[in-house]
Amino acid sequence: MHATIQKPLKEIINALSKDEKVFVVGCGNCAEKCRSGGEEQAREMKARLEKEGVRVVGYAATASGSSLCKLAAAKKLLLEEHKEEVAKADSFLILACGQGIHTVIDATGGAVVHPGCDTIFGGETVSDDFITEYCSLCGECIVEATGGLCPVTICSKGLLNGPCGGAKEGKCEVDKEQDCGWQLIYDRLKELGKLDLFRQYQSPKNYAKRSNPRSLKLEEKRATFKSLAGLRTIGQDR
Ligand code: SF4
Ligand code: SF4
């Protein structure tokens, strides 16, 4: 899940030119679940913009459960289902994550886009009302040694070898509301009977694997991951 929150209306309006004709686009998957950009929010955004004098030629969102960041879905939505309204638009206001924004550029062959949301993290949907971050997408997973808990993400300093020593009564010195990530890792390893792993040194990460942009090419029997660290292909021998 890509967690997103809507930008303030004033910021959205300030980015638009005078008399710019806008088409509002939402996403029926992550943005709908975050209540930042499903069909309902796209319709509401149209009404809010029009109230402020913005010219809105239409709105649309991919069907509930369908992602805007799927190129075929974005093309169908904008080039087929809403072709006539889209033809009148100077630009698109996207209520979705940054992946959705770029998908609209690709789907339309390079249209002008405006972000309507801030993309804040990728997370677990704990419940309909709560999403939280457990992975920072580093490209080199080390949670085998930490009982499945990610120190890069749940420790405020992202320490690979913790704790830092600043925790008090299990709370982080950076944010006293937050549990110390390394205390959680210790408790988890203890519960699993794997406390020996707590002393295992973690080498510095190869941040070239985290460099942007990254891509993953999926073929029938293999997958190729591309980052600054080079190409990593798996499954070619299957
Ligand atoms: S180490 Fe943490 S940030 Fe990296 S892939 Fe694993 S869970 Fe994600
Ligand atoms: S107190 Fe714990 S979570 Fe906070 S920075 Fe130190 S090790 Fe990380």
Shared domain for 118 and 8, answered yes or no, is yes
Write down the pLDDT at residue 236.
Answer: 66
What count of other Cβ atoms lies within 10 Å of the Cβ of residue 60? 20
Shared domain for 115 and 178, answered yes or no, is no
42 assigned to some structural domain: yes
Say yes or no: CB of residue 160 within 6 Å of ligand 1: no
For residue 99, pLDDT beyond 90: yes
Write down the pLDDT at residue 237.
Answer: 55
* Ligand 1 atom having least distance to the Cα of 139: 5
213 assigned to some structural domain: yes
User: What integer is the mean pLDDT of 162-170?
Assistant: 96
44 assigned to some structural domain: yes
Where among 70, 91, 122 does a domain terminate? Answer: 122
Shared domain for 33 and 58, answered yes or no, is yes
What count of other Cβ atoms lies within 10 Å of the Cβ of residue 113? 18
Shared domain for 157 and 98, answered yes or no, is no
Write down the pLDDT at residue 29.
Answer: 97
Mean pLDDT for all residues in the chain: 96
128 assigned to some structural domain: no
Higher pLDDT, 125 or 236: 125
CATH number of the domain that residue 29 is part of: 3.40.50
Shared domain for 110 and 220, answered yes or no, is no
For the segment 173-220, what is each residue's pLDDT rounded down to a tens digit? 999 999 999 999 999 999 999 999 999 999 999 989 988 899 999 998
**From atom 6 of ligand 2, which residue's Cα is the shortest distance away?**
164
Shared domain for 75 and 173, answered yes or no, is no
* Ligand 2 atom having least distance to the Cα of 173: 1
Write down the pLDDT at residue 210.
Answer: 87
Shared domain for 176 and 84, answered yes or no, is no
Shared domain for 169 and 221, answered yes or no, is no
Q: Give the whole-angstrom CA distance, residue 178 versus residue 167.
A: 10
Q: In 3D, which of 7, 24, 16, 14 has the Cα closest to residue 119? A: 7
Where among 122, 149, 165 does a domain terminate? Answer: 122
Q: 63 phi and psi, to 5 degrees?
A: -60, 155
Shared domain for 96 and 190, answered yes or no, is no
Per the structure, the count of domains in the chain is 3
Write down the pLDDT at residue 211.
Answer: 87
To which H or E segment does residue 213 belong? Answer: none
0.95 cut: is pTM over it?
Answer: no
Domain that holds residue 140: 134-199
Shared domain for 10 and 46, answered yes or no, is yes
**From atom 7 of ligand 1, which residue's Cα is the shortest distance away?**
135
Shared domain for 87 and 147, answered yes or no, is no
Shared domain for 10 and 117, answered yes or no, is yes
Q: 150 C-alpha vs ligand 2 centroid, how far in Å?
A: 12
**From atom 1 of ligand 1, which residue's Cα is the shortest distance away?**
141
